[in-house]
Structure 1
């Protein structure tokens, strides 16, 4: 997440080098033994990881709302995906999770990774009908939120958890029917923007009442 701006793209040379590295790494360790959490925050790609407390709370929310055998999608929210896969959240082993990201380093997560460019919101190599979709648009702009919202609607069976700047509240409500929560998300870096969580369902963990009908 960041202020308005264009997402930097990796050069073809850099992508080839990364793919070679992960191919060699997979051969040494095997995809099932990859340690989730080894991919670290890169602020140059508009990545700002949540604090451990926030990532845990959001992961707990996804597990609770998805239910036994549920499926969750983390759109531009890799730190929450990592928290789910680290096994530190009760019940996380009972849900299936995928991470949608522009950063191809996350290809190290194997089939859980779906390449995602918000400029092409429906160009997805991913199944649909997720029980809960968590989205954290990488930029605070009307264009970015509008396009990410298309992705969310495409993926979601109904429940939506959105994390973005408070300034986007009105647009978020119009696009996704969400309302602001009492829970305040925090980041490892001190960001200047005022961030909030929004949901379209009642949430005890995030302190959100039942949203009004549209």
Structure 2
């Protein structure tokens, strides 16, 4: 009997040594686990081209659905027009490159599954997109498959950081991928603070259409194009 009492006392002492969460901390943890479960369920429902959870540590901020749809529609319009103007005998259009804008890639694949789109991304979680995925580090602007060099009919980019260095290297990649940097359509989505740099580096102008993010970023975001969208995307803003 004495041994049993000692064992119970020992078990009680061991239980006392286990850290205990207070009620408020436990509630926060439970809420976090619920949100994680929702994200996992949403990713599963998204299927092959569903999104993963954005990671702010990698400067990832996904677009609102309306923004993704608007830009995807514009890309589809451009692709159709380019295809009709193409005098080559190729039966299929050249690839479209999405640099660091996976939510746009996902929307394109859902809305226009026949478009040949490649996603260039640093985050290897997007390798789930199979052969469409190309690992991309903006610090190595031309380190992409040689088959993509001067091969893309349309190039779209969303530089991960609002620095001139990041923009310069991203623009270098865009020109490297573009079929014809002087004439092929290029689009770039980034902060308004980059307006003058984009004009200098890419000769692109801002559209009146304003891209929005699902997490409501505080800084003003803009869409710049190297071509005249006419009435689409709200048209170009006035001269710089």
Please say whether Structure 1 and Structure 2 have the same fold, judged by a TM-score greater than 0.5: yes
Alignment of 1:121-200 (within 5 A): 121-125=141-145, 127-128=148-149, 129-157=151-179, 158-200=184-226
Pick closer, same or farther for the CA change 1:211–1:102 going to 2, 3 Å: farther
Residue equivalent to 1:84: 108
**1:43, CA displacement in angstroms?**
1.7
Structure 1 or 2: more helix by fraction: 2
Count, aligned residues: 175
**2:234 counterpart SS class:** coil
Indicate whether 1:207 and 2:225 are aligned.
no
1:97 is matched with which residue: 91, 113, 117?
117
Alignment of 1:10-49 (within 5 A): 35-49=48-62
Whole-Å Cα distance in 2 between the matches of residues 95 and 190 of structure 1? 29
Larger relative contact order (CA 8 Å, sep ≥ 6): 1
Kept in 2, the 8 Å contact 1:72–1:133? The answer is yes
Whole-Å Cα distance in 1 between the matches of residues 206 and 172 of structure 2? 20
CA offsets per residue over residues 55-74 of structure 1, 9 Å max, x none? Answer: 01111111111225432110
Whole-Å Cα distance in 2 between the matches of residues 205 and 107 of structure 1? 33
**1:50 counterpart SS class:** coil
Whole-Å Cα distance in 2 between the matches of residues 211 and 73 of structure 1? 28
Structure 1 or 2: more strand by fraction: 1
TM-score normalised over the length of structure 2 = 0.69
Residue equivalent to 2:35: none
Alignment of 1:113-128 (within 5 A): 113-125=133-145, 127-128=148-149
Superposed CA RMSD in Å reads 1.8
Pick closer, same or farther for the CA change 1:210–1:130 going to 2, 3 Å: farther
Name which one, 1 or 2, has greater alpha-carbon Rg: 2
